[in-house]
Amino acid sequence: MPKFLFFCHRFFELRFIVATGILDHLTEHGEVALLLPEDLAKSFQPVLEKNKKIKIAISNYTAPASPFRRVWLNFWGDVLYLAFPNTDKRPNATAEFHRQYYRSSSALKEKIVVGLSRLASRFSWLLNMSVWLYQSVLPARFHDDLLQKEKPDLMIGCSFGLSVEDAAFLKEARINNIPSAVLVQSWDRTSNKGYPTVRPDHALVWNNIMAEESIVNLGFAPDRVHVVGSPLWDKHFKTLDQKRSEEWRKDLGIQKDSKILFFACGGFGNHPANMIVIPKVFDLAEVQPFSDTIHIVFRMYPQYLSPITKSGEGKRKKDEIERLLRKYKNSKYISILCPKVDFDGKNFVPNDEDHDYMTECLYQCDVSLSQVSSQMIEACIFDKPALNIEFGRRQTDKYDLEIADYKTEHLLRLYRTGAIDRVQDPADLEKTIAMALQNPAEKSKQRQQLVDQEAPLNRGSSASEAARCLAGLVGVKKTVQTRK
């Protein structure tokens, strides 16, 4: 039987492959070893050990000891993060957006990195040199013993070398002459993360747009990109064939004829916006200005419940939003929900109940409200009006801007379909919701177009198709791809 070595460095990635069942499907095709940082292995062990066919190995990746290596990798990693070749052939708005908002502790470094990224995007020789300079100091002998013991037939990652750990994993595959693949697990990985620091032999993506981005902007050979569908939404498509739960409304105390607004707030990056948006939305339930009675089902973002909220800035944000929510806790027209997750002190571990409940909220609602979130796509799967709230500020380690100015390629491709109702001014919120309630089918055709764009095939079976595709890559002759 073939052997697969799967590496997940980030919680988000591991949550994706566990929640979607990809790992379970992959064990149907061979032996699976999962390489994880120690804290993730500990957190997910109770979930993963349910499948006895999955082995858990502890990752030994560590930051380079040499300060020079760390600075070097950071510098050239930033250059590649801002490099987007062939935008004359396939435009990518993220290129200039990222360069505009790129910040460093050194103003000189900012100018050099942005300048080099522009030149590298234009001249293939400089792009190839940037990749070589990054890889030249990238350590990649962390797991010789593991590779010798497991002898994997395919090494699978979740990003195109987004961090040193991801890049080192792919380099280990290359120097050991083991075929590699990356299973893209986010809707923005092919458009927003720059040029691969180490390109794997194969890329598995969700749709044709991501495939085009991989070929044109990321330099993959066409026969090395595989469209498998979107495993994250398999549950949604399966739910469409089921009856709505009658108990769901009863449990939340929602009146029979009330229209439901499902509103999931953003995470810490959107905290300044959350503090503005939440009262604007909740006050509509208090005033009831529409022809129909509305009931708001609000879902707290899981990050507000994570262990990082025990102290410091995380605690401040959690306390602030909880004070705000307490003002509305007794409203008969507002249900405030917390994610159904388990915490182990470091990570929150999702469960099937939470995934099912989130899906039911989208299935039952009349209008979906979110903030630059993939919930826009999920709402369209259920043919529900999708309102994107774009007022308020977004502050992360990479951005500090008004959400209305957040214009990366993965968002713009949704907006171009015309399926999303965008609210950039608080004064327009009530009017936009009213129009969605009165004419819910108005953008149904555009919503279907968006779903066809984002999830064109294998609806409900993308996870099993991804596993089948990975299994099919075993034995495929390894080749060196030409960078263009």
Cα 287 to chain centroid, rounded: 35
pLDDT at 307: 73
**pLDDT above 70 (res 441):** yes
- Report the SS3 class of residue 371: coil
What mean pLDDT comes out for the span 221-225?
98
State percent of the chain over pLDDT 90: 81
Cβ atoms 214, 181 nearer than 8 A? no
Average pLDDT score, the chain: 93
What's the pLDDT score for residue 483?
Answer: 43
pLDDT tens digits, residue range 156-198? 999 999 999 999 999 999 999 999 999 998 999 999 999 999 9
User: Would the pLDDT of 480 be above 70?
Assistant: no
Compute the average pLDDT of residues 24-34: 96
Residue at 69: amino acid letter: R
Does residue 479 have a pLDDT over 70? Answer: no
Per-residue confidence (pLDDT) for residue 484, from 0 to 100 = 40
User: 219: pLDDT confidence band, cut at 50, 70 and 90?
Assistant: very high
Give yes or no for residue 47 having a pLDDT over 70. Answer: yes
> 245-272, pLDDT tens digit by residue?
889 999 999 999 999 999 999 999 999 9
Please state, in angstroms and rounded to a whole number, the distance separating the CA atoms of residues 52 and 120.
47
Round to whole Å and give the CA distance between 387 and 381: 14
Spatial CB neighbours of 412, under 8 Å, sequence gap ≥ 6? 93
Confidence of residue 397 (pLDDT cuts 50, 70, 90): confident
Looking at residue 350, its pLDDT comes to 64
What percent of the chain has pLDDT above 70?
A: 96
Q: Are 341 and 303 in contact (CB under 8 A)?
A: no
Q: How far apart are CA 270 and CA 166, in angstroms?
A: 27
pLDDT-based confidence at residue 344 (cuts at 50, 70, 90): low
**Residue 482: what pLDDT?**
45
Q: Is this structure's pTM higher than 0.85? A: yes
